[in-house]
Chains A and B, each alone.
Chain A
């Protein structure tokens, strides 16, 4: 069981749904949902820089299609901290998109641990669960 998981999604329903599934599967102790990617990013930065006492989440579920700061923008902003995040924080893309182009693009990003399509399936969660 993970200590801490972030869910970054502008869709409130989606956050609710993901949280509910994670809770049902006892995926993590703490699930934190962010409607605004910017705030999620700020949180992560603070943890990386040590300016906050908050620990880094072990898993991040990241939506792609968000206003103002998309999932791609989010990843790009994190790329300087690739080393710092490696082994400590795994990012999974969780999107409703069925666009193959986006899957390919995600495969190229070193920060991305996996590409998941909504809705979150139980089987996938089993694979992701911390043994």
Chain B
């Protein structure tokens, strides 16, 4: 009975141990096997059969006895609590029939072993409980077939299902954790309580270039970029207070590279206390770089958009402002924040009736850009040139305020209308005075087409032989002075007709003061000029008449009055004198002479008057100067011969002109007669008669080697009537007066040069007006 008494004590011990420390129950089992029954003389006593039965029935261990085939021969009452069967239900039933088929072979093996070696431990197996569920059973067996009291195999079983489940779960979580730690695609690490690396996964090398062995034991601060130590230590301290979070820091790798990493750090709790820090680090260098780049680009784009001086904005699909440039904000005089997100048509409802509204809809619909110009009153009046482009988010609108250009354009149109419709000629020249544009008035007046005058210089084009060279020169110098000026100038139409222009020239300068254009406005003053010419002629005539009148006053007061006075005096004398006095006859003769002189003067006056009138009305004929000269010389032939005068004539036969032959004859006659009259007594008289061309006609020169005159004394009176300068010579002082009158009547001019005792030269300019 010794073995019998030994067992229960062992069981009690086992039960106690199990209760207090169930997790270690597995380890206790082998010890149980080697337990020896406590040997104590005090407790070595015998208990009743019922005692054993109660003990065995109350244990949570299931104690059963099987026969050699495995059939239950005894089942302890504890089976009810553990597996739900009553002992009676199991007695006579093979225990193997309850074993999970998968576990059956190993159980059978253990049973065979038991039969051979008396004791055996069964592998864990699953046993079908009364409820039908499988329970994990731990079982030991003892071959007691040879014990006469037992005659069977004693099996002690325990339901270890819960423990198995617990162990499984632990393994499972561990694997899970390991996988999370070691197989995580990012770098995972743990820090111990001192902040040193405790464990790292394989990615540490990729991230930091430190190997696992390098890094374990290193403090995390060793990796940090100096600037980021504080951020990191703050972050880690936070974790110690139990707060998990993510920070971005910069580290320096073993190779010296700088990397940006994002680290999620979390506390590791063990038994309710933070025992370490676990972290997951991700290389975000590229992401940071990319972000930086994106930020930069976005900023750049923004500043580009903002730097566009033309207003610009974008609308989304709902017509809300998604972007507005600064210039647009200033254009509408609102802050950007006031419009961003607002629907344009709600902001300015009146736009809905604009052309712009329709075009916007069209652009959004057709996804093609469109342009338009429209006058707006909103937000304030103006004329805009608008471009609308489709964008993935809606439309972009870009516009230029062309109000000013439009106004200028209208102004120009008006001006050009005025310039083209005015009756005056308008010329726009460049700085070199070349024509850039002329108006219709110019073409109408001058007869030139616009195309044929472009690039020409107006003076070159319009001036001609009749243009006064002085005026032409003055115009050039006035252009060069770059100041506004006006002139009256003789121009010519394309047809060659004379055209008098009053020109008004204004130089145009740009903002820098550079000469850009000249604008000339021409007024046709031909009629005025002609009238002026007539007026001048009239004034000239009047002047001449006036001179004539003065001359006649003079003639009357002197030349006419003189013989009258003489006659009166002589008559008185004759009346007074006795008839026989010598002076009586003399006085009578002189009276007659005086009367005759009176008659001559009256005839002269008549001659002069008729000459003046006929000069204006007599028909001009072609007169050849050589021929006239020849005729006059013929008249003097005898006298010249008598006085031994040498005459030199040089007149080209083709020197002919439209004139009055009688006048030319008379002029030449008077001059030659003067030469003869005032010859120097001490030398032979030589006379030169010649003609030459000048630009306006001919110059007839009569030069003599006669006594000459003191020009100082005679200049003023030489051509006056009844003026004589040679008291001892026959002459009544009408010759040169006649010459001058006739020259004037022919539209010519007479000049005289003379030196006392050397001779006199008369020059008569014929052919054009010489006043």
B543 to chain A, nearest CB (A): 19
Contact B724 A98 (CB under 8 A): no
Closest Cβ of chain B to A96, distance in Å, is 4
Which of A14, A64, A67 has a CB less than 8 Å from the CB of B566?
A: A14
Q: Do the beta carbons of B562 and A118 come within 8 Å of each other?
A: yes
Q: Is there a chain B Cβ closer than 8 Å to A35's Cβ?
A: yes
Q: State how many residues of chain A have any CB contact under 8 Å with chain B.
A: 28
> Quick one: CB contact mask for A1-45 with B, threshold 8 Å, 1 for yes?
000000000110110111011001000000000011000000000
Contact A96 B573 (CB under 8 A): no
A47 sits at the interface (CB 8 A) = no
Q: Are B726 and A67 in contact (CB under 8 A)?
A: yes
Counting contact residues on chain B (CB < 8 A from A), the size range is 20 to 34
Tell yes or no: B656 within 8 A of A by CB: no
Residue in chain B with minimal CB distance to A39: B727
Binds A, one of B204-212, B582-590, B684-692: B582-590
Interface residues in A93-119 (C-beta closer than 8 Å to B): 95-99, 102, 117-119
Give per-residue flags for B543-585: 1 if the beta carbon is below 8 A from chain A beta carbons, else 0: 0000000000110111001101110111011001100000100
With contacts A13-B593, A14-B566, A67-B733 taken as known, whether A97 is within 8 angstroms of B726 at the C-beta atoms is no
| CB contact under 8 A between A13 and B566, given known A67-B724, A98-B557 | yes
CB distance from B249 to the nearest CB of A (A): 125
Inter-chain contact B566/A20, CB cutoff 8 Å: no
A119 touches B565 (CB 8 A): yes
Using Cβ atoms and an 8 Å threshold, which residues of chain A touch B714? 68
| Chain A contacts with B in 59-74, Cβ cutoff 8 A | 64-69
B565 contacts which chain A residues (CB < 8 A)?
Answer: 14, 96, 117-119
State how many angstroms separate the Cβ of B10 from the closest Cβ of chain A: 186
Given contacts A20-B573, A67-B727, A67-B733, are A96 and B566 in contact (CB under 8 A)?
A: yes
In the assembly, what is the distance between CA of A36 and CA of B724, in Å?
12
Q: Which of A16, A66, A119 contacts B572 (CB 8 A)?
A: A119
Q: Are B569 and A67 in contact (CB under 8 A)?
A: no
A107 to B583, CA, bound (A): 35
Given contacts A13-B594, A35-B727, A119-B565, 10 further A-B contacts (CB under 8 A): A14-B566, A14-B569, A21-B573, A24-B577, A67-B724, A97-B561, A98-B561, A99-B554, A99-B558, A119-B568
Task: List the interface of chain B (C-beta within 8 A of A).
Answer: 553-554, 556-558, 561-562, 564-566, 568-570, 572-573, 576-577, 583, 586-587, 590, 593-594, 713-714, 722-728, 733
Can you list 26 A-B contacts with CB-CB less than 8 angstroms, sorted by A residue number?
Answer: A10-B727, A13-B590, A14-B566, A16-B586, A17-B587, A21-B569, A21-B573, A24-B576, A64-B558, A65-B722, A67-B723, A68-B713, A68-B714, A68-B727, A69-B713, A95-B558, A96-B561, A96-B564, A96-B565, A96-B566, A97-B558, A97-B561, A102-B557, A117-B565, A118-B566, A119-B568
**Chain A residues near B (Cβ < 8 Å):** 10-11, 13-14, 16-18, 20-21, 24, 35-36, 64-69, 95-99, 102, 117-120
